[in-house]
Structure 1
Amino acid sequence: MCGRFAITLPNDAMAQLFAAQPANDLPTVPNFNVCPTTQVHVVRGTQTGRSLIPMRWGFLPHWYKSPTDGPLLINARAETIAEKPAFRAACRERRCIVVASGFYEWTKTEDGTRLPWYIYRQDTAPIAFAAIWQSWGKDDAIPTCAVVTTAANEDLKGIHHRMPLILEPDSWALWLGEQGKGAARLMHPGAQGVLAFHRVDPRVNSNRASGPELIEPFDDG
């Protein structure tokens, strides 16, 4: 599962990191509370090279008559992505990368209280989420995307049973289709010891919360 994340890297730094041509209408950064249906930073391969563009986080299959015509598809399970009618063509032909600095997950106490955690790379590098995309609509088509998820690895099982599929730099080209076929072999939980996490302020439970304090360690004792 991936339902909320943060992005703090400047747009030009993102473009440089992924060797991508940046669009002029990229989302504003930093954003410490990126929510579904908003615009996110996406790296996409093209015939002339990579581009860094905005996309709506919330995949819209071509048969949706409106953005709210069906379930909100922010994630796509790696185990079934090649079979689901909504995702199978995109999985073969339209893979991309969503850029993040870290993401949030929640645990629950015995009384049902939701406790948020911020998860990030131990080396503090940006996170590359494997994702798929789809243009929706005939006039002024909207580019949309979903983050691919896998079963959680041992590092994160105590927080959530699912995690985003995180790509290492040496896998970016294969996922984007620049090295031919074989992206399916990337769809597995990431290596242990890559991610770190800490509790954060319950303010992030609200999708209206903002500010750098959302990702700071939180002690409720």
Structure 2
Amino acid sequence: MANTLPHDAVAKLFDAVPANALPQLPDYNICPTQDVAVVTQEEGRRYRPMRWGFVPVWYKKLNDGPLLINARSETVAEKPAFRKAVRERRCLVPVSGFYEWYREGDEKLPHYFHRADGEPLVMAGIWQEWGEDGLPTLAVLTTEANALMAPIHNRIPVVIERDDWGKWLGEEGHGAATLMQAPGEDVLTYHRVDKAVNSNRASGPALIEPLAA
């Protein structure tokens, strides 16, 4: 993921109370196990950091099993790790964009996806607290790729539109399941970026710039 959205502006956009400590921005290379700022509904909207990588309650250690950065929307309500969270703890993940990779032989070619209209990209997430200290952890929901994404990858994040933010957060009764679908073909756009982003140590705005011909 990449995020250049100012925290104060995002908290105002969602009418959410910001946490005292939030991830440092801008960050052009947010990797799994790092913190991402998300919007939750906890007797009012909160804007708070969470570890990207959902940890099931039965894990004794953070690395007791697979790193669950994503959850498949088609099966999320059935999987023991996720089924309670998708009913009770849904969140919104506002970012500038995200990376997806196309495999060409042994190479992983990165592409940067963002909203075509320039607005914040808000992905669907689920969360839960883990361990004695209540570490908040997050997974992003994905679904089958639309025609835009299909040439690059077979999955795409579930994108929540502004009018549906409240429904996804559970503020408007039932119906969140109907939102777990691919975004419309004109919602996102993308371009190739440099393979520098393949390293979790890479940083800087050049990571999201179109790859020079």
Which of residues 23, 38, 41 in structure 1 aligns to 2:19? 23
1:99, 1:137 → 2: CA distance? 26
Unaligned residue ranges in structure 2 (runs of 5+) = none
Runs of 4+ in 1 over 6 A off after TM superposition: none
TM-score (norm 2): 0.98
2:203, 2:116 → 1: CA distance? 23
| CA displacement at 1:182 relative to structure 2 | 1.2
1:101, 1:26 → 2: CA distance? 16
Is 1:178 aligned to 2:178, yes or no? no
2:129, 2:96 → 1: CA distance? 25
Provide, for residues 188-220 of structure 1, a one-character-per-residue CA deviation record: whole Å limited to 9, x for no partner: 11111111100111100101100000000112x
Is 1:136 aligned to 2:127, yes or no? no
1:19, 1:127 → 2: CA distance? 17
Which residue in 2 is equivalent to 1:215? 208
1:211, 1:188 → 2: CA distance? 32
Which of residues 156, 165, 189 in structure 1 aligns to 2:158? 165
| CA displacement at 1:9 relative to structure 2 | 0.5
Which of residues 121, 131, 139 in structure 2 aligns to 1:127? 121
SS at match of 1:99: strand
Counterparts of 1:9-20 in structure 2, within 5 Å, are: 9-20=5-16
1:11, 1:186 → 2: CA distance? 25
| CA displacement at 1:134 relative to structure 2 | 0.6
Which residue in 2 is equivalent to 1:84? 79
| CA displacement at 1:178 relative to structure 2 | 0.3
SS at match of 2:94: strand
Q: Which moved more, 1:28-37 or 1:182-191?
A: 182-191
1:81, 1:31 → 2: CA distance? 29
- Name the count of aligned residue pairs: 213
Provide, for residues 161-181 of structure 1, a one-character-per-residue CA deviation record: whole Å limited to 9, x for no partner: 101000000110000000011
Percent of aligned pairs sharing the same letter? 58
Which residue in 1 is equivalent to 2:193? 200
SS at match of 1:6: coil
SS at match of 1:80: coil
Unaligned residue ranges in structure 1 (runs of 5+) = none
Is 1:8 aligned to 2:4, yes or no? yes
CA RMSD of aligned residues (A): 0.8
SS at match of 1:13: helix
Which residue in 2 is equivalent to 1:43? 39
Which residue in 1 is equivalent to 2:52? 57
| CA displacement at 1:112 relative to structure 2 | 2.3
| CA displacement at 1:35 relative to structure 2 | 0.3
Which residue in 1 is equivalent to 2:138? 145
2:50, 2:106 → 1: CA distance? 34
